[in-house]
Structure 1
């Protein structure tokens, strides 16, 4: 009888032990986890992943309850959330669809697990790719897109939504709602100022975040009061830092200041105290900014490096390369005085980034990569952008990382991103070196986890090879 009781007890304990085991798809062991919120690093951690989510992050010794189909050794490596490129563009018309589609592989190969498409001219394709990536039938980063941008009549942009009345604005917003865009993009090529402000207000009423260029005839106070969620490109905030932006905007509207004279005026009248007052207002109203330093930096130093022999061009299709020419040809016409001036403008503009950071404005990292924007490359571009934000913008490596992986998802209210923790998306970047000590270490990629699937170094190199072959 005693033996039967003992046997029953042992069997019961065995059942309890089995029941306590939890299955997972992937465990990354012995890794150093970077808390991008605080900058602290925990060594000897295991990241447990099931499907597309992290279910646990804990000391190696405390995850014995989990079993996984695959275990990955992260000893000596640093783990952080996958990077976001918060401003890029697909485009160049349907004939360049395949070249645009290759961007997706380039992003993954460089640790970018999420991108924000800020509109171009192939929105139907982008909407389809977004769906296919989400359902797992297309390999690529998660896509958030604005769809077609809002513009005025006869703008220079292709396939935008051209509006000239309040009724047309509502029709345009209805069309964006129908395709379920993730945010709204507004630009100012021909859109009248009053309708521009109305577009901001009406898009916000429908629950969207709104990203925009800012008409130089309007002030930062006017656009943030109307509900602008994010300024795209740092130059607009630089202009807002002059002693009397309202006076400058009126002069621009009257045509008494135009062209390069606008930047000359800003150089002469930028005032740190006035800028901080405006930037604090932006922060109080919840208006973020995406600096996109890469393109103006490239253009400013085009006399030093014209980028026509960049090794990375092997990953860019011929059609996309062709869209680079108009901007490069225009910049090449500048004389030495103009070249020196554009360098000065870049340096002074970039310096305002630190003031924005100090004022509490949420900074997001985006490249402006894709078609049209010369030599601003999908994938590797985000690493260059982060480095420029540190070198010229004066922010810390931690703040640069936060701009990519915390502030970018926060802009879209995507709470399941932004950290390596239980309940967060299983998008993980494994690095060979610490990016907090040198921001350039984000380039030293050991492996990438996207939607819970591990891509080791060989798999990442295979993605690059696939794009290289496609572009021959």
Structure 2
């Protein structure tokens, strides 16, 4: 017995003095491991090198120092060689439409967004509302961006736009909002072609009461602050924000309502009376109210410059079907019929409007990066034009970080998606863009994606090029069999 006790005491003594060994962490299995990554934090404006990004399913499960790569076993591992990883881009104003005959061509735009690094789009209404709602829940192509949509927009009686919900009184507006809620739309779009000003304000107020986000074209017959004070969530198109800077906005709006001037003449009057101090005061109030602006500046600039630019050799033409290209004719022909004075007015309004972008930034107004790409809007090529929009913001004085914020951070937040998107971080959705150059230093770096991660699936450079070739081949085949309709 004494011998046994001595042996036990010796064993306990040895255990007490022996060095402790660290318990090894269990190896975790993931679907995708990105190593040697430089992670871009757009919100903070920083980059962190030597990181790994672990992805399981459609989620990022970890972002850690490269030294911890041995904690993971991955189905696919991609060494990024210190390339930059940022959240995928969001285009916060696009359109699908052109009638049922163009459903397939609209569906075929989906991979065009993805190869350009656009992983989500906000559809701001067209004439294929139910189709787009179906696509939101069941993507039409294997590589499709996430879709957030307004469904059919609210308008007045007999407007120029097709596929809208026509409203002539408050009961019609209530019924429209009931319908949109039943469709589970992501926001409500309201436009001003024939909608009565009082019904516009009623629709905004009632939607807000229901907890629904609203976006709109603001009628020329009411002021921007009237719309914002009613609870408007986002102003679509920068020229509406420009008119808010007119020192005579209310009087000009009253003249338009009385039929004294055309819409184009009214916009020129707003630009002629634009006043910096007035604009600063109104923009400060927009910030207080939380009203965002989706500028679609590249789209409006392209239309304003139709008399200057030759688009017949645009690279983007090879990626857009002939039916959608045919819808461009409406705006092209209208621009061609403009008088010299109308052309001069168009350019003047464009230039004054562009001045407001840095002013909105300085006031702290949220700027949502959207393009107006899609049918009708001539030479505004889906996917490609988002890079043009970003570059235009920087040209006008925003930093690359500020330009990107409106796409990848404030875009998701506006749609109540900030918890899932907007950063390369654990718990976020694995929708990512891999770049050769730091986008915080050069925003044009987003044009050249080395890879895209879409819902957790890595699409590398080779596959991106294959997708581009497939899109071009589909368009070429459509061109060969396309027969323009009489309307085209």
Fold shared, TM-score > 0.5 on shorter chain: yes
Distance in structure 2 (CA, Å) of the matches to 1:263 and 1:155? 20
Q: CA deviation at 1:309?
A: 2.3
Distance in structure 2 (CA, Å) of the matches to 1:192 and 1:260? 19
Name the CA shift for 1:14/1:218 in 2 (closer, same or farther; >3 Å).
same
Residues 33 and 54, structure 2, Cα contact 8 Å, conserved in 1: yes
Q: For residues 222-371 of structure 1, what are the structure 2 equivalents within 5 Å?
A: 222-371=226-375
Partner of 2:168, secondary structure, is coil
Partner of 2:403, secondary structure, is helix
Residue aligning to 1:174: 178
Distance in structure 2 (CA, Å) of the matches to 1:16 and 1:96? 61
Distance in structure 1 (CA, Å) of the matches to 2:276 and 2:174? 39
Q: CA deviation at 1:206?
A: 1.6
Residues 111 and 141, structure 2, Cα contact 8 Å, conserved in 1: no
Corresponding position: 1:129 with 2:135: yes
Residues 163 and 169, structure 1, Cα contact 8 Å, conserved in 2: yes
Q: CA deviation at 1:445?
A: 0.9
* Count of residues paired in the alignment: 460
Name the CA shift for 1:186/1:193 in 2 (closer, same or farther; >3 Å).
same
- Write out per-residue CA displacement over residues 261-282 of structure 1, whole angstroms, 9 at most, x where no aligned residue: 3233223211111101100111
- Write out per-residue CA displacement over residues 400-442 of structure 1, whole angstroms, 9 at most, x where no aligned residue: 0001001111111102111111111111101111222222111
Distance in structure 2 (CA, Å) of the matches to 1:146 and 1:425? 22
Residue aligning to 1:97: 103
Distance in structure 2 (CA, Å) of the matches to 1:188 and 1:261? 17
Distance in structure 1 (CA, Å) of the matches to 2:141 and 2:326? 30
Larger Rg: 2
Correspondence for 2:64 among 53, 58, 62: 58
Residues 132 and 138, structure 1, Cα contact 8 Å, conserved in 2: no
Residue aligning to 2:480: none
Correspondence for 2:398 among 376, 395, 398: 395
Q: CA deviation at 1:109?
A: 0.6
Residue aligning to 1:420: 424
Distance in structure 2 (CA, Å) of the matches to 1:424 and 1:451? 11
Corresponding position: 1:381 with 2:385: yes
Name the CA shift for 1:287/1:177 in 2 (closer, same or farther; >3 Å).
same
Q: CA deviation at 1:340?
A: 3.7
Correspondence for 1:451 among 429, 451, 455: 455
Correspondence for 1:405 among 405, 408, 415: 408
Partner of 1:361, secondary structure, is coil
Q: CA deviation at 1:14?
A: 12
- Write out per-residue CA displacement over residues 99-146 of structure 1, whole angstroms, 9 at most, x where no aligned residue: 00011100001000000011111112111111113xx98430111000
Distance in structure 1 (CA, Å) of the matches to 2:362 and 2:223? 21
My pick for the range that moved more, 78-87 or 201-210, is 201-210
Correspondence for 1:49 among 45, 55, 63: 55
Residues 243 and 271, structure 2, Cα contact 8 Å, conserved in 1: no
Residues 129 and 138, structure 1, Cα contact 8 Å, conserved in 2: no
| Unmatched 5+ stretches in structure 2 | 478-488
Partner of 2:424, secondary structure, is coil
Distance in structure 2 (CA, Å) of the matches to 1:265 and 1:181? 36
Corresponding position: 1:433 with 2:437: yes
Q: CA deviation at 1:343?
A: 2.3
Distance in structure 2 (CA, Å) of the matches to 1:391 and 1:344? 18
Name the CA shift for 1:132/1:264 in 2 (closer, same or farther; >3 Å).
closer
Partner of 2:109, secondary structure, is helix
**Normalized against structure 2, the TM-score is what?**
0.90
| Unmatched 5+ stretches in structure 1 | none
Residues 307 and 335, structure 2, Cα contact 8 Å, conserved in 1: no
Distance in structure 2 (CA, Å) of the matches to 1:381 and 1:401? 14
Q: For residues 99-248 of structure 1, what are the structure 2 equivalents within 5 Å?
A: 99-133=105-139, 138-248=142-252
Distance in structure 2 (CA, Å) of the matches to 1:178 and 1:15? 56
Residues 50 and 82, structure 2, Cα contact 8 Å, conserved in 1: no
Distance in structure 1 (CA, Å) of the matches to 2:171 and 2:83? 55
